[in-house]
């Protein structure tokens, strides 16, 4: 089962104005990893939503400082966590950022960071809708 939600632009911080964005939360994938434990998926999603702002901040700082290692490690953390909670789009984007950092191509990574932020905002909305939780 894939959960998708259309999100008004206002929830994306104005990124790509005028366009509705979608993101994906593959709950079946997360359920498969946890052995079908819906409560645990909910907890993991909560942990991800709590932790990703710091990871993204570290990623942004790494890009600002042109610190390739920091970009690479923070992107890898986001990738790993996103994979565990079935956040496929976020996982894909974080993987691309990690690859761009490894290729010393930080300008591309900057563009991907914006996409990542939008996908994270969508993930919040989708999971909030599914679990009925407001982000703390």
Partner 1 sequence: MRILVVEDDPVSLKLATTILEQEGFETLSATSGKNAVSILEQNETVDIVVSDISMPVMDGFHLLSYLKADPRFEHIPVILCTAMNDEASVRKALTLGAIDYIVKPIQAATLLSKVKKVVELVSGAILIVDDEVLLRNLLGNMIRREGLKVIAAASAEEALAIMDKEKIALVLSDISMPGMNGLQLLAVSKEKFPSIPVVLITGHTGQFSRDSVLSAGGDGYISKPFKNAEIMVTVRQFIGRRQNPAHVKTKQSS
Residues that bind partner 1 (CB under 8 A): 32-35, 37, 40, 43-44, 47-48, 51, 73, 76-77, 80-81, 83-85
Q: 21 vs 78, which CB is nearer to partner 1?
A: 78
Cα→Cα distances 125→11, 13, 15, Å: 9, 13, 16
Q: Please give the Cα distance from 4 to 25 (Å, whole number).
A: 7
Q: Please give the Cα distance from 92 to 29 (Å, whole number).
A: 15
| Shortest Å, Cβ 48 to partner 1 | 5
Give the pair of three-digit tokens for residue 73: 């490690």
Q: 23 vs 88, which CB is nearer to partner 1?
A: 88
Q: 12 vs 84, which CB is nearer to partner 1?
A: 84
Residues 56, 57, 58, 60, CA torsion sign: positive
| Shortest Å, Cβ 102 to partner 1 | 12
Q: 87 vs 118, which CB is nearer to partner 1?
A: 87
| Shortest Å, Cβ 83 to partner 1 | 5
Q: Which residues make beta-bridge pairs with 25?
A: 3
| Shortest Å, Cβ 19 to partner 1 | 29
Category of 2 on φ-ψ map: left (φ > 0), alpha (ψ -120 to 50) or beta: beta
């Amino acid at each position: 089962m894939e959960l998708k939600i259309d999100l008004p632009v206002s929830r994306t911080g104005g990124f790509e104005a005028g366009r509705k964005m979608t993101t994906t939360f593959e709950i079946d994938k997360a359920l498969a990893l946890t052995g079908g434990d819906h409560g645990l998926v909910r907890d993991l999603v909560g942990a991800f939503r709590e932790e990703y702002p710091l990871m993204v901040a570290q990623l942004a700082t790494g890009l600002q400082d042109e610190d390739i290692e920091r970009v690479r490690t923070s992107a890898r953390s986001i990738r790993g966590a996103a994979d565990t909670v079935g956040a496929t789009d976020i996982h894909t984007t974080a993987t691309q950022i990690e690859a761009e950092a490894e290729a010393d191509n930080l300008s591309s990574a900057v563009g991907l960071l914006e996409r990542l932020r939008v996908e994270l905002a969508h993930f919040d909305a989708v999971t909030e809708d599914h679990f009925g939780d407001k982000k703390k």
